[in-house]
Chains A and B, each alone.
Chain A
């Protein structure tokens, strides 16, 4: 068959159009760290945590999960969140003897890896701050679990219609103007709920007022592009089960380059390939025209 010059140009034009469309769309949908100043956050001051695990109990109650184990035995081993426990408190040795405790849950990243990974937007960053999950959209690919640098999303492997489970930042309570249940339940003032930028200043104030005590870093200020839950501590953060070495780049930007390729492919490939085709066609015609020459010569 032959594709005339007109048809060729039309084909190139149409594909270029779709390519550009896809490009703008991809850009529009990349979750951005927008208006992070006004977003809500929680400051976890691990030096004030007494390890009572009231937050675990309150979380379980609010999310209709089984009550957390009683007694201090559980603090002997490091625990991870699970499909039935959205937050857990871990213990570490304090400098000078005694204990330090650190609560762990979804950090509600400003530009969440999980939401950018999700192909169906079942996990989504709400403009109000929380990263929420909608099981009715989820297809269960578990890419969110692969992507989250804090190993937060957990899966109901035993269920026939399994869900991804994780802390919701009590999005519903927040919508009613209430703080998250864990913050409400905390008796020791280890958890503070408020605007993220205010909390960040408060965190730094606490560090600067006791510089020889605190680790000079707010965990969550920059991790994965910044998170809503932020931590200060006088023991290394890793001791409290917060992963070290999480890159500071917002995670969606890690894939942005590669995702910029498809529009380019859609735009450039068809004309390029058709060009190649026209070239090889022409070559054959020339080869056929030349007498006494074997066509194979031209195929290398």
Chain B
């Protein structure tokens, strides 16, 4: 921080250049006043105190959890959904590093950064939800190896570490630490193998959690293969997330990209659209198979059936056709709409499994408290803010040209 003074004296300083984007402190602070930031500040103003209240007053005072609904929004949304939306990290990492699909190289870093931030937010949500968060270390010493949750705990921990290491590549470029950067860059391939391994395990284990609830989860969603469903949909989420994200960030950060080597987002999107069409269709087919295996046809005509159809037909089958159409005719817009629908569908799936269709025969329904909502919204907002803060400073949307010859 000492260098901040140097910056104030007009000499180029690390703080001024790297943190304040070359502005003086007052200039920088003024630049922060935007409509987006005001909304974000309003959300944080409610959410952060709610989070503090949760720890000061307990779960009972801050949430609508009950004996019948031990899991609510913080597990169903922050954890389940947060983790699946971060699946872009390993899908794209694997495509670029392992399958050699170099055309996706340009979106590898943003995907990894999203995943990294997503996992950290999911872990914060989890800590809020745990009744005895200080005992989380117990998962390291008391192996409940028969528990899917034990597997998740380990994999999430390992995977977050892998993401952190992957993230250090652009981070060290930003700091200009060449030696360490070179080491980590060499490790990227190995890290990618690990990331695929851990992701496969915990994305599917999130589904395995519900294998223990055959009498509680609605038959349209309960299947002995739910862990495979979760895995396939995680890949689908990864692809869709990268499509949406690359569209957004290349728009939002257009100015920052000026003078950088041109990235053909449209071509990448079409490539991803092809993959999306195939995976979405496979996933739809699996969901159908689940209904057949579970002899759950009868339920399709109930209210839960309607919810199920919205999820599988409206938000998996329709997008899969849209993906295919868009990829075939090079219609980037179609693919982006399909990706957005798919993401909504997967979020709905995670919420259905963990909240809406869980304990479906119970007379009283769980509805989250406003504080639960505020905390969840806050985590999403902080995630977006962190992503933007980092993208504005570090070489995420492109590699630092000074480093490109180090390979």
Contact = CB atoms under 8 A, between A and B. Distances in A.
A243 B359 CA distance: 13
B318 interface: no
A80 B193 contact: no
Contact of A281 (B100, B144, B216): B100
A143 B205 CA distance: 13
Contacts of B153: 119
Given A29-B145, A157-B58, A138 B196 contact: no
B382 to A, nearest CB: 23
Interface string B351-376: 00000001000000000000000000
Nearest to A19: B197
B28 to A, nearest CB: 40
B204 A261 contact: yes
Interface string A8-50: 0001000100000010011011110000000000000000000
B186 A299 contact: no
Interface in B135-156: 135-136, 138-139, 142-153
B213 interface: yes
Contacts of B103: 296, 299
A87 interface: no
Interface string B147-181: 11111110000000000000000000000000000
A291 B355 CA distance: 58
Contacts of B205: 258, 262
Contacts, number: 196
Contacts of B70: 142-143, 145-146, 155
Interface in B104-136: 129-133, 135-136
Chain B's interface size range is 35 or more
A116 B147 contact: yes
Interface string A130-152: 00000111111111011101010
Given A138-B132, A157-B58, A299-B101, A26 B146 contact: yes
Contact of A121 (B68, B144, B213, B214): B144
Contact of B146 (A22, A30, A83, A157): A30
A26 B193 contact: no
Contacts of A162: 58-59, 131-132
A255 B98 contact: no
Contacts of A15: 197
Nearest to B145: A29
A192 interface: no
Nearest to B407: A1
Interface stretch (A168-176, A208-216, A269-277): A269-277
A262 B100 contact: no
B34 interface: no
A52 interface: no
Chain A's interface size range is 35 or more
Contacts of A1: 186, 189
Nearest to B147: A119
B388 interface: no
A139 B134 CA distance: 7
Nearest to A157: B60
B71 interface: yes
Contact of A247 (B145, B192, B215): B215
Contacts of B148: 117, 255, 258-259
B151 A259 contact: yes
A13 B215 CA distance: 41
Contact of B98 (A11, A147, A157, A273): A273
A142 B71 contact: yes
B394 interface: no
A206 interface: no
Interface of B: 58-61, 63, 65-68, 70-71, 94, 97-103, 129-133, 135-136, 138-139, 142-153, 186, 189-190, 192-193, 196-197, 200-201, 204-205, 207-209, 211-216, 224, 227, 358
Given A122-B142, A141-B129, A283-B100, 8 more contacts: A31-B146, A117-B149, A145-B67, A147-B212, A160-B58, A262-B205, A270-B197, A277-B97
12 contacts: A1-B189, A15-B197, A119-B139, A139-B136, A140-B131, A149-B214, A157-B58, A246-B215, A254-B212, A255-B208, A262-B201, A280-B98
Interface of A: 1, 3, 11, 15, 22, 25-26, 28-31, 80, 82-83, 113, 115-122, 135-143, 145-147, 149, 151, 154-162, 243, 245-247, 251-252, 254-255, 257-259, 261-262, 265-266, 269-270, 273-274, 276-277, 280-281, 283-284, 296, 299
